[in-house]
């Protein structure tokens, strides 16, 4: 059995949001205040998550990514990862984190079964980092990165959401970070999810600026090597540098044709597409494998050929506000 949609895309990858809560309030992800979080009773239990993943694994799910909110704020995350890693068929588990508590948890998470890591690091300037994250501690996150390298995660990808007025002047600094460190620095377009038109338009930075800044600094970007994982990035490298950079542009150049993922929200909904409203509730059937399999296929039937993000800028320009969930609620 395999999870193949009507456009013949094979799905072997499930992103699991284990919480909608976060210890930061990044400007591109959450409002500064007024965010409504799920009640604890509304968040899936470990048993429910494991039951859903077991059914997915029987249908061909092989790769998992643990997300949030911030996944490391969930109690007993290490124990949950251990249980997921033990499910027959699951071959790879990755984690996306803001790194605030990574120094304390890196080694335990590696032993539990996390092999790959995505770390959000939107600025290497403490003041700018604090402004983007609304009270994040850059030094603490950097120490978390050092702990992750020491623990042996591979690859480690640094996610940098480019936001005008916050970090677009640091592009060259981030590229040069790959000179000595075997890191993958991924520049990501600012996405209009949960944003009004004026806010998104004022902060959007096209990824063509990465090439412009590199050229101005005398750095040549050549095609890079494919990196282990499931991401939609295009990879480049500076000749002689230890690491690479990646470009992820969901707004200007969507990557739907190769999409192989489904998403499971913290409250137990299967989302076939990050940028689509349709979702299928699976929590009530978490202990019914056969019903769960039916719901996985139902979610696939809802998956569009292309998402609307490529025209999101146009929608916002015309005063239309998409009604997607906030990024932290989806586990994007």
Q: What are phi and psi of 107, to 5 degrees?
A: -65, -40
Residue 263 is assigned to a ligand binding site = yes
Residue 256 in marked binding region: yes
262 is in an annotated binding site: yes
For residues 21-44, b (16+ Cβ closer than 10 Å) or e, as one string? bbebbbbbbbeeeebeebeeeebb
Q: Is 191 annotated as a binding residue?
A: yes
285 is in an annotated binding site: no
Residue 261 annotated as lining a ligand binding site: yes
Residue 26 is assigned to a ligand binding site:
yes
Quick count: other Cβ atoms within 10 Å of Cβ 320? 11
Angstrom distance (rounded) from CA 188 to CA 66: 19
- Beta-bridged to residue 264, according to DSSP, are 16, 270
Confirm or deny that 65 is annotated as ligand binding: yes
157 is in an annotated binding site: yes
How many CB atoms are closer than 10 A to CB 57? 19
CB 172 within 8 A of CB 198: no
Give the C-alpha separation, 310 to 275, whole Å. 10
Q: Quick one: angle between helices 77-85 and 46-58, nearest 10?
A: 20
Q: Which residues are annotated as a binding site for GTP?
A: 15, 65, 96, 157, 261-263
Q: Which residues are annotated as a binding site for S-adenosyl-L-methionine?
A: 28, 69, 120, 191
Q: Which residues are annotated as a binding site for [4Fe-4S] cluster?
A: 22, 26, 29, 256, 259, 273
Q: Which residues are annotated as a binding site?
A: 15, 22, 26, 28-29, 65, 69, 96, 120, 157, 191, 256, 259, 261-263, 273
């Amino acid at each position: 059995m395999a999870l193949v949609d009507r456009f013949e895309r094979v799905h072997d990858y499930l992103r699991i949001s284990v919480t909608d809560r976060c210890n930061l309030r990044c400007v591109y992800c959450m409002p500064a205040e007024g965010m409504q979080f799920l009640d604890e009773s509304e968040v899936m239990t470990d048993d429910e998550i494991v039951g859903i993943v077991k059914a997915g694994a029987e249908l061909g799910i092989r790769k998992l990514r643990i997300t949030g909110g911030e996944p490391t704020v969930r109690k007993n995350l290490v124990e949950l990862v251990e249980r997921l890693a033990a499910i027959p068929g699951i071959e790879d588990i990755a984690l996306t984190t803001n790194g605030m508590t990574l120094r304390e948890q890196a080694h335990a998470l590696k032993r539990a079964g996390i092999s790959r890591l995505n770390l959000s690091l939107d600025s290497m300037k403490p003041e700018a980092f604090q402004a983007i994250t609304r009270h994040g501690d850059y030094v603490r996150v950097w120490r978390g990165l050092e702990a992750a390298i020491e623990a042996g995660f591979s690859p480690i990808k640094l996610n940098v959401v480019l936001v005008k007025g916050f970090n677009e002047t640091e592009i060259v600094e981030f590229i040069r970070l790959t000179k000595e460190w075997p890191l993958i620095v991924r520049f990501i377009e600012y996405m209009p999810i949960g944003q009004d038109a004026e806010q998104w338009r004022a902060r959007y930075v096209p990824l063509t600026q990465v090439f412009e800044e590199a050229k101005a600094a005398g750095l040549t970007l050549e095609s890079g090597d494919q990196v282990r994982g499931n991401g939609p990035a295009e990879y480049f490298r500076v000749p002689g540098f230890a690491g690479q950079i990646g470009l992820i542009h969901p707004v200007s150049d969507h990557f739907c044709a190769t999409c192989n993922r489904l998403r499971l929200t913290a409250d137990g909904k299967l989302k076939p597409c990050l940028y689509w409203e349709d979702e299928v509730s699976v929590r009530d059937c978490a202990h019914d494998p056969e019903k769960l399999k039916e719901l996985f296929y139902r979610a696939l039937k809802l998956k569009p050929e292309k998402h609307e993000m490529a025209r999101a800028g146009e929608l916002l320009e015309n005063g239309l506000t998409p009604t997607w969930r906030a990024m932290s609620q989806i586990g994007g």
